[in-house]
Amino acid sequence: MRRILLGMILCCAAMPALTAEEDIVLRGMGSFHVGGRVAEVSGKAVRMIVRQPGGPQTKLDPNGQYMVEQMYVQYFLPRQRKGKLPLLMWHGGGLTGVTYESTPDGREGWLNLFVRKGWDVYVSDAVERGRAGFAPPDVWTSEPTFLTYADPFERFRIGDGEGSWNPDPAKRKVLSGSQFPVEAYDNYMKQSVPRWLSTDDAIIAAYVALVDKVCPCVLLLHSQGGAFGFKVAEQRPDKVKAIVAVESATAGNLDKAAALKDTPVLMLFGDYVDQHPRWANFKKIDLAYADAVRAGGGTVDVINLPDLGIKGNSHMLMQDKNNAEIADVIQKWLAGKGLVE
Amino acid sequence: MRRILLGMILCCAAMPALTAEEDIVLRGMGSFHVGGRVAEVSGKAVRMIVRQPGGPQTKLDPNGQYMVEQMYVQYFLPRQRKGKLPLLMWHGGGLTGVTYESTPDGREGWLNLFVRKGWDVYVSDAVERGRAGFAPPDVWTSEPTFLTYADPFERFRIGDGEGSWNPDPAKRKVLSGSQFPVEAYDNYMKQSVPRWLSTDDAIIAAYVALVDKVCPCVLLLHSQGGAFGFKVAEQRPDKVKAIVAVESATAGNLDKAAALKDTPVLMLFGDYVDQHPRWANFKKIDLAYADAVRAGGGTVDVINLPDLGIKGNSHMLMQDKNNAEIADVIQKWLAGKGLVE
């Protein structure tokens, strides 16, 4: 008896410090860049620039080789792993991986919530966005585009369509029952980054390089990231084991959809979609792609959140006030596909 | 006796799972943007663009309000906190907070190492860099500049000065005894982002907003981040309780240096500095600022790593192969200033 007791005391003494229930315990975290190519610029004039205020004049020769079209990835690996595969979170247009981090009003985003559910999560910035960097104008000849303050408010089903924005917060017409943290719209706009309209091939190439590096995996796609994700999955159907497409803004190639016959897909939609011509149109494109996947022998589940009684969701579902509830809907679907231990 | 044993069994059963020695245990992690302003653009023509391949033509009206000049911050809060204040890591020119994450060759960077030492770490992307985004050309009228593949190799004391770069890795002249993971130079170049030369005031304003939000704190500055950090500290000497300036590329304002009389400073330099005119010049500027701080009643410690027998360090010390050893030098200095529990 005493020996058992002593054993337990020693066992307890040797233990690392206790962790509180709400702690995030990681067996690793880090980041890397992937993809990219070396581009050559030649024939441009050399000029002198001051790189630091007070610093010396230094030569800037724009000719030479540049590293371009790489992408950025940050990963978090929970100690108690329950998701059977890495979960890759890809953002939408004019945005970065910040989409999945803390919400504009400071709550935990899907990165934290899915790490807490035991998934190895990889959050990335696509080519041209955020920490991926962007190429010199000699390499990409198109110009970046920028969103006005009003644009996402009116387009992303936060406000009630065109004309709903007003610089005066009191005069903005927010959709009735909206779950978006509209009081933090300023912070949402701070997450917005410029985008190019000519870089799709480079973006897809880098995503394929990412999949080759860290998959087999599950893709969690949002908006424009859906269009990229389905096309990447068509190229690597053996490595993409499931897809969660959150309001995919267009989908893959109809004539290649059959490649996804062994890749179960969840298409998830928020509220107000059918009343909003832009989103109704994207949904129509998504559902046509779903039909093409099914015709090729694959399975696609479609969840309209309002059908589950989950109402008020904007296009930024992962930032809406009920983002944890939607994460649970996704987790349940993943578990149903046998992807959770 | 049985009651004690039962109590211990219950206690053990109620415990969260054990954490391995090498785990990172966080009481929280997240991100936010801070600073910024709303800028107005007017008088520009409306145009139609396709935002997604296959998507509809949509109106792009460049006129309106834009959120500009915010910055991005990600934080990691260890459960076993030992650093008495938040530790803010500010990157150098043409770079982002990625500087402090995994090294180009995949080892742990100073973010992980200082979180493991028990510091609340805040890694940020300055205005215009990475996830901070950048402003439309109607707001910032200067153009971004880009570094060639050769530039940091020759400038950052990886290669042996001008002409040391060669597209063929076998023909590159690496500095003798270099600690930089030169085999991963491709990955280092992928971390490089464009920079503007006209945004210093905006960058400083956002850093001041960050300090106002999360400090009192310790600043860990690198290269161009040093020039910003000292100027921010001059504006908020009550909130910046210590500064570690790693190869600061120029420093603060000599006539305001006395503001730092109660803010101890460590200036840290790597190897090959005195033989390299560019870095010898920056060091001279830094040491003149150190003298001005001391003349105002403050304290500045200067560490030349080679004097401690630590040799071969490039300008990217936090990524060099001995980055953990240098982190220990910094930690020791911080402990000496009473900033470690």
pLDDT in tens, A58-68: 777 788 899 99
Higher pLDDT, A306 or A63: A306
Residue in A5, A21, A23, A123 to test binding to B, most B beta-carbons within 10 Å: A23
Residue in B22, B29, B103 to test binding to A, most A beta-carbons within 10 Å: B29
Distance CA B163, CA A22 (A): 54
CB burial of residue A103 (10 Å; 0-12, 13-18, 19+): buried
- Is B23 close to A26, i.e. CB distance below 8 A? yes
Return the residue of A nearest to B197 by Cα.
A51
- Is A30 close to B64, i.e. CB distance below 8 A? no
The least confident of A175-189, B50-64, B294-308 is B50-64
pLDDT class for A52, splitting at 50, 70, 90? low
Return the residue of B nearest to A133 by Cα.
B193
- Is B112 close to A24, i.e. CB distance below 8 A? no
Mean pLDDT of chain A: 92
Q: What is the DSSP string of B265-323?
A: EEEEE-SS-TTSHHHHHHHHHHHHHHHHHHHTT--EEEEEGGGGT-----S-GGGSTTH
Q: What is the pLDDT of residue B51?
A: 63
Residue type, A67: M
Q: What is the pLDDT of residue A2?
A: 52
Q: Which residue(s) pair with A242 in the sheet?
A: A218
**CATH code for B27-46+57-336?**
3.40.50.1820
pLDDT class for B272, splitting at 50, 70, 90? very high
Q: Give chain A positions within 8 Å (CB) of B150.
A: 64-65
- Comparing CB atoms, the residue among A17, A58, A190 nearest residue B80 is A17
Q: What is the pLDDT of residue B280?
A: 97
Distance CA A253, CA A250 (A): 10
For the A72-336 domain, the top CATH level (class) is alpha beta
- Is B149 close to A67, i.e. CB distance below 8 A? yes
User: pLDDT, tens digit, for every residue of B220-231?
Assistant: 999 999 999 999
Distance CA A239, CA A234 (A): 10
pLDDT class for A7, splitting at 50, 70, 90? very low
Please give, rounded to a whole number of angstroms, the shortest distance from the CA of A146 to a CA of chain B: 6
- Is B197 close to A249, i.e. CB distance below 8 A? no
Q: Are A106 and A112 in contact (CB under 8 A)?
A: no
pTM exceeds cut of 0.95? no
Higher pLDDT, B161 or A281: A281
Q: What is the DSSP string of A301-328?
A: EEEEGGGGT-----S-GGGSTTHHHHHH
Residues 6+ apart with CB under 8 A from A219: A88, A90, A229, A232, A233, A240, A242, A243, A244
Distance CA B221, CA A134 (A): 25
- Is B52 close to A250, i.e. CB distance below 8 A? yes
Backbone angles phi, psi at A215, to 5 degrees: -95, 165
Q: What is the ipTM of this complex?
A: 0.92
User: pLDDT, tens digit, for every residue of B101-127?
Assistant: 999 999 999 999 999 999 999 999 999
Q: What is the pLDDT of residue B52?
A: 57
Tokens of A170: 């009191």
**A94 pLDDT above the threshold of 50:** yes
**A83 pLDDT above the threshold of 80:** yes
pLDDT (mean) for A129-157: 91
Residue in A4, A46, A67 to test binding to B, most B beta-carbons within 10 Å: A67
Q: Are A64 and A161 in contact (CB under 8 A)?
A: no
**A143 pLDDT above the threshold of 70:** yes
Q: Give chain B positions within 8 Å (CB) of A192.
A: 67, 133
Please give, rounded to a whole number of angstroms, the shortest distance from the CA of A21 to a CA of chain B: 7
Higher pLDDT, B8 or A203: A203
CB burial of residue B48 (10 Å; 0-12, 13-18, 19+): exposed
User: pLDDT, tens digit, for every residue of A198-228?
Assistant: 899 999 999 999 999 999 999 999 999 999 9
Please give, rounded to a whole number of angstroms, the shortest distance from the CA of A13 to a CA of chain B: 12
Q: Give chain A positions within 8 Å (CB) of B63.
A: 148
**B200 pLDDT above the threshold of 80:** yes
Largest CA distance in chain B: 85
